[in-house]
Amino acid sequence: MPFAGIAPRRAVQIMALAALLTAYCALLIGALVPNVPLLVAAAAGGLTLDLYLQHRQPGLLSLLSRVRFDVMVRQLLRDMLILFGLLQIDGIEPLKEQSPLTVMLLATYLLHFVIQGVTIMMRRDRTLPIVTRNVDASALGLTPAPPRILARRSGHRLLYLSVPVTAGLLTTAATTDAVWGVLGLAVSLALSGGGALYLATWLLPGKRTPDDQRVREWFADWLAEYRPTVGLYFSGGATSAYQANMWVSTLAALDGRPLIVLRERFMVQKITATDVPIVCLPKVADLMLLEHSTLKMLLHPANSGKTSQVLRIPTIKHAFTNHGESDKLSSCNPYAKAYDEVWVAGPAARARYQLADIGVDDRDVVEVGRPQLAPILPYSGPPPADGPTTVLYAPTWEGWDGNPGNTSVVLAGENIVRRLLADPGVRLLYKPHPLTGSVDPRAGAADKRMQAMIAEANAALAAAAGEGDGDGESAGEGEGEGDGRGAGRPGPEAAAELARVQAELDALATTSFRSSADEVERMLVQSAPEAGRAEAVQAATGAWEEAYWASLPEREHQVITDSRPGIYACFNVADVLISDVSSVISDYLTSEKPYAVANTSGLTEEAFRAEFPTVRAGTVLGPQAEEIPDLLRAVRDPEHDTLAQARTELKEHLLGPSDPPSLVRFNDAAAALCAKADARAARMEARGESDIPSQRRDAAEDRELEPDEPAGV
């Protein structure tokens, strides 16, 4: 096996690259010999393969571009070899017939560069300084985008326009009649010229976007009309959007006029379905427009390099909410002292900041709970005796510092999974962190082995269920639930219902855009939010989660790596959680269900519990996970659950009291911070220039003193 041990995707890429290089070698041989059948087959096959790779393997072509073998070079080399082959073929007179072909071919490349130039001007014109969503932008007179093949896919465009050229030249090679080559080139020239002219219409006044100054004036007018008061500020990478999304519903529920402020253009479409206006201000100069607005406070779910830029606006108060709380040092970042207030869930985080001694004043720490934990259901008792015990294993990722205690995946994960799978009464839900393996390859390898173990266990379950039928029916057939076949496998109706609600959710959660839509067109389409859309998405998500769990076999283990179902949905079906020291533990404690924490730090259990307070109401698992049988016994029999009261107490310590509800406390904190912003604005308005110390000093120096008056009086 030549590709044994190579990942299937990598093997496909290697074979595609080998085929592409083979086509060029064959084309060269066909041109040198000359061999017309080989020349035709190699050129046609190479162009077809290139077109295929543009659609199916763009990553491979990106790699070729890094070594300067991009689409332009590949097509130019292909055309030059075809022309060279034509020079060698008897019956074609080079001086008579080759020259027009060469001139016309060069003209096609010249037109390609013309289109590229028009594309650059058009794209610059359609790059607005401010991007919005859920904001009425009709006053800007925005227009739909030009076709994607013309505006953004230069490689695809070059190859598609090369099809008639290559077909004509190869027909000339086969028939020794130059007319075919001229015809193919003429078709390509006509298409290229027409495309350039059509694209240029987007530079005419009727389709051009307003200039930057006009857009800024429009945005300032919108701010004055909308009058936002509370906002969410976020800057980050594509994979970090969840940090902002977890706070969107809370922001929408606050009193006042909410606003979401972003810094990266791509993030506008990453924010979940919401009615809240979204503005993206990539440049600092445009960000400063907020200083002259009615915005009073901003919530910050994450730190970033661009956060310091918005902190420079003195009219806005800033509250750091973080995107999760845990005992890790990352939950006590010294950057937190840059904010006006630090909002935490409960007393535990307050104490954590003081113990960390990083300069955060205790008077600036406000306990607000975690309002987004409302969907987590409370503990309703042990699992039924005749049903499975659902165990959620949700380890965190390895982190950046190489600490072996960050994640259990490397040192304990396989032992945890092995012991859980060995218990016939367990249904395992394995939900790894999306970044698992991104830093430490060992974590990625362990994750793959655990998924393979789960797949093998499911295969064994299916085989055992099939053997138990006795009548030769497959595991999924039959009527009765719980009859042993397929471990309670649902019928086709459940799968059909899941497909139906998923289609409904997808239609609600995402805005449909044309394939050619660019940033400006999306802004135009999303000018106004659909009333009630966010609530509809929430309801559809709940229906999808219910249908998802109903569609799964009752005892089949699951590996969950997609964004749906979310971690809270997994909490609600789990009887017990196994995780690492992370915010997952704090959030799960809302349910007051049993949980366990893996200790791979090298600390003793006593030191581990002392170091990480979130562990004190849970079972501690060592690297060998020998404690799992006792954990399962406590989950199944409340008489063995000695930590129930400790979980109740720890929940309040971590998340604060249940009354008043977290959202009420959060809203009160927002109102209080807005009041501080109002108080500062009032002081600044009442303060005259003579009240500013530096100006008093300058005034005294400039004032003419009386002859007998001492300086400084």
Contact at 8 Å (CB) between 411 and 373? no
Spatial distance between the Cα atoms of 60 and 435, rounded to a whole number of angstroms: 23
Contact at 8 Å (CB) between 300 and 233? yes
State mean pLDDT over 489-493: 76
State mean pLDDT over 97-118: 89
Could you state, in order of their start, the residue ranges of all structural domains in the chain? 8-127+145-203, 212-373, 389-440+557-655
Q: Lowest-pLDDT range, 284-288, 354-358, 421-425, 612-616?
A: 354-358
According to DSSP, the residues that pair with 394 across neighbouring strands are 579
CATH number of 389-440+557-655: 3.40.50.12580
Q: Lowest-pLDDT range, 64-78, 116-130, 468-482, 500-514?
A: 468-482
Contact at 8 Å (CB) between 291 and 314? yes
**545-578: per-residue pLDDT in tens?**
999 999 999 889 999 998 889 899 999 999 999 9
pLDDT at position 463 is 87
- What is the percent of the chain with per-residue pLDDT over 70, rounded to a whole number? 90
Strands of the sheet containing 426-430, edge to edge, are 558-559, 426-430, 389-394, 576-579, 595-598, 619-621
Spatial distance between the Cα atoms of 264 and 244, rounded to a whole number of angstroms: 13
Residue the block writes with tokens 């009464």: 425
Spatial distance between the Cα atoms of 622 and 606, rounded to a whole number of angstroms: 12
**514-554: per-residue pLDDT in tens?**
888 899 999 998 887 767 777 888 888 889 999 999 999 98
Q: Which of 468, 474, 507 is nearest to 491 (CA)?
A: 474
According to DSSP, the residues that pair with 579 across neighbouring strands are 394, 597
Both tokens of residue 259? 């606003």
Higher pLDDT, 619 or 690: 619
What letter represents residue 677's amino acid?
A
Query: By three-state DSSP, how is residue 132 classified?
Result: strand
Give how far the C-alpha of residue 363 lies from the chain's centroid of Cα atoms, to the nearest Å.
Answer: 35
Contact at 8 Å (CB) between 392 and 353? no
Contact at 8 Å (CB) between 195 and 150? yes
| Exposure on the CB side of residue 259, measured as CA atoms within 13 A | 24
CATH of 212-373, one of 3.40.640.10, 3.20.20.70, 3.40.50.11720, 2.60.40.10: 3.40.50.11720
pLDDT at position 4 is 46
pLDDT at position 14 is 82
pLDDT at position 8 is 65
Spatial distance between the Cα atoms of 109 and 120, rounded to a whole number of angstroms: 17
Spatial distance between the Cα atoms of 670 and 298, rounded to a whole number of angstroms: 9
pLDDT at position 97 is 58
**How high does pLDDT run on average in the chain?**
87
Q: Give just the sign of the alpha carbon dihedral 562, 567, 572, 577.
A: positive
Q: What is the pLDDT confidence band of residue 686, given thresholds at 50, 70 and 90?
A: confident
Residue 474 confidence (pLDDT) above 50: no
**640-681: per-residue pLDDT in tens?**
999 999 999 999 998 888 889 999 999 999 999 999 999 999
Question: Phi then psi for 299, rounded to 5 degrees?
Answer: -90, 140
pLDDT at position 452 is 95
Query: Which letter does DSSP use for residue 134 in this model?
Result: S
Q: What is the pLDDT confidence band of residue 691, given thresholds at 50, 70 and 90?
A: low
Residue 702 confidence (pLDDT) above 60: no
Both tokens of residue 256? 């006042």
State mean pLDDT over 426-444: 92
**570-610: per-residue pLDDT in tens?**
999 999 999 999 889 989 999 999 999 999 999 999 999 98
Query: 212-373 and 389-440+557-655 share one CATH topology?
Result: yes
**183-225: per-residue pLDDT in tens?**
999 999 999 999 999 999 999 999 999 999 999 999 999 999 9
pLDDT at position 528 is 78
- What is the percent of the chain with per-residue pLDDT over 90, rounded to a whole number? 60
Contact at 8 Å (CB) between 105 and 162? no
pLDDT at position 226 is 95
pLDDT at position 708 is 45
Residue 462 confidence (pLDDT) above 50: yes
